[in-house]
A and B are shown apart, each in its own frame.
Chain A
């Protein structure tokens, strides 16, 4: 099996790096007799078994955290949206003042170029809101999950991905236009999982092998 390092990387998403190295070593030792398919199938089942074992150790805590994390996501989303819009208005205002009240418009008119800085388009505001709600806030919440569940980031994120669609129905954030939020749940869940995986991958990498 050539991709031992890749296998180790994948397994270290579910168990510690040292354990992943030892287990992949065991699988590599057995692989010549059993084949590549056995190796990768065993690896996939190992990841699933480890994540499942993590959740089974404290199922209620995982589900409780997953439900709370939806509220955390809501707060993170509100804060980020607020920051995004607050940053947007002054920038737009400065650009508007510069183009309309500093003589620049006389020059641009003379050149036959029209620069019009009106109020921010509603579409832009909505785009900021969507990027924050569907991508940035879930990604940050996934990273927060990683801080709360060190070594079990992925298990926590998977439970969250199962609970979030339910929470989106039970506790829709009215301010976020509930229907749109529910439509975006698959994207949110993906970004949240990416956040958890990102945190896990940023942990010290396994030693390199000769």
Chain B
């Protein structure tokens, strides 16, 4: 490489790694309307306005929601590691897998019970299967104030959250709800965010797109994430959430309410924030339907019982499919995400 030749402008392109910097320089372009916004700002300055007005109303709505995602990402790495160290209950399995699983568990339970009875000892009973989640003994009442004064109520007649058939990385917008799908990666190097996470083509005429994520074994924390807009979304008209999924992967379905989010990020939480309500799910290698009821969602075991909050579907802020630290390599698809009717 001609390091000393000032006319060799292609020098950087020939470097196997540094080429990416050239590539980024070529693709680092501002959003459409950039020049107009600059000129508007200059005019505003001349007229004494404090700052330029950016973006259209729609864009700024998305910007605000995206900003919440950006800010939240700062905290998730720490949360993730804590959550991984205190694993929540056994993962949910698909309905077809359940029958075999429950049979095996029942046999095991009988065997364990028999041994325990014969021994006459009060050994601790092992966790055998996902159990119905009981409400934690000590609950902190959610803060009833803003931002939920402006909450958008989900329409019971419109359960679909997204089927990805539009091929874009945005939540299906209706009834005042909007949002963007993102992919979040947290490693030792820090958090990284890919947005929007565009669905991948399925190549089927009746089901063209689905979300897809896959990664190697050596990862820290990953999530397919959508922050609802407005900041507080009321899904209390529904009883839970269902989706179609395919693995193999062990993930957690996580719903965050504004009460888990710090005030500075637009939530209402004062202390011990950032712990979403979740359910672990083991995705099999065939497409299956998975259902999680709101009452089954619980904050991770890393949250002390006294600090746990009840899940309040009137105060939703984000929906995520999370791959926790310590999980094996993952390769999963998500499709047809919708609320479950009461």
A and B held together in a complex: no
Seen from chain B, the residues whose Cβ lies within 8 Å of a Cβ on chain A are none
Seen from chain A, the residues whose Cβ lies within 8 Å of a Cβ on chain B are none
